Amino acid sequence: MVIFSVYVVNKAGGLIYQYDNYVPRTEVEKTFSYPLDLVLKHHDEKVVVSFGQRDGIRVGHAVLSINGVDVIGKSTADGKDILEYLKDASNYPVSIRFGRARLSSNEKLMLASMFHSLFAIGSQLSPEVGSSGIEMLETDVFKLHCFQTLTGIKFIVLADPRQSGIDALLRKIYEIYSDFALKNPFYSLEMPIRCELFDQNLKSALEVTEKASNFGAGS
């Protein structure tokens, strides 16, 4: 069992903290001959697969490197435009590494704001007054758990569906926030959390929760 990431969202819907605890590797590297049997396109400043799937490469996967040279946006690190480079038959055979692109800081900010809105919609849709809002969303590969404090701060944890102890972990993170952010004289309320002690104690809490869950599963 594993905990993927932690988000802290302020009462206005702004992302004030985010930590990736574990990012699954979904990368595939293959050597291709000309012509390339995948259709690529620009999407959100990345080059992604829009048509064709093979050998673990899926629609939506982004180009991460070409011939061992990392990709930055729409170009390689040495300045070559990816789509133009792959149109030239003289550049083949070519080795391309595909994978799910990591979310950018702007994408994380946008998603935090969207969840804040969904949380409010969930409260408004409730047939009963005083609904807590969304506490959990479940997919086939992860669960999203949310705990909102009385002051409107949301603590969000993404974890393996089989991971136990998340409710206790959310309250522990709130305790860490209270002890190492709110009591920090240099911290401004509602602003991004940049505190080494907060980071250290959060990582320790995640590690303890994962170990406890794994021990329980093996016993």
pLDDT at position 58, please?
86
Fold of 27-99: Pdz3 Domain (2.30.42)
pLDDT at position 170, please?
97
pLDDT at position 32, please?
94
pLDDT at position 44, please?
79
pLDDT surpasses 60 at 217: no
Q: How far is CA 21 from the centre of its chain?
A: 10
Higher-confidence residue of 63 and 1: namely 63
pLDDT at position 107, please?
85
Using the CB atoms, write b or e for 37-69: b if 16+ within 10 Å. ebebeeeeebbbbeeeeeeebeeebbbbbbeee
Tokens of 39: 């259709």
Q: How does pLDDT run across 11-20, given as a tens digit for each residue?
A: 999 999 999 9
Instruction: Answer yes or no: are the C-beta atoms of 157 and 166 closer than 8 Å.
Output: yes
Confidence of residue 219 (pLDDT cuts 50, 70, 90): very low
Q: How does pLDDT run across 181-204, given as a tens digit for each residue?
A: 999 998 998 999 999 999 999 999
pTM of the model: 0.76
Q: How does pLDDT run across 141-179, given as a tens digit for each residue?
A: 899 999 999 999 999 999 999 999 999 999 999 999 999
What is the percent of the chain with per-residue pLDDT over 70, rounded to a whole number? 95
Residues of the chain with CATH 2.30.42.40: 27-99
Other C-beta atoms lying within 10 Å of the C-beta of residue 177: 23
What is the percent of the chain with per-residue pLDDT over 90, rounded to a whole number? 65
pLDDT surpasses 80 at 24: no
Region label for 114, one of left (φ > 0), alpha (ψ between -120 and 50) or beta (otherwise): alpha
Q: What is the mean pLDDT of residues 125-140?
A: 85
Higher-confidence residue of 59 and 155: namely 155
Residues of the chain with CATH 3.30.450.70: 3-23+104-214
Fold of 3-23+104-214: Beta-Lactamase (3.30.450)
pLDDT surpasses 70 at 215: no
pLDDT surpasses 60 at 209: yes
Other C-beta atoms lying within 10 Å of the C-beta of residue 82: 20
Higher-confidence residue of 25 and 90: namely 90
Confidence of residue 73 (pLDDT cuts 50, 70, 90): confident
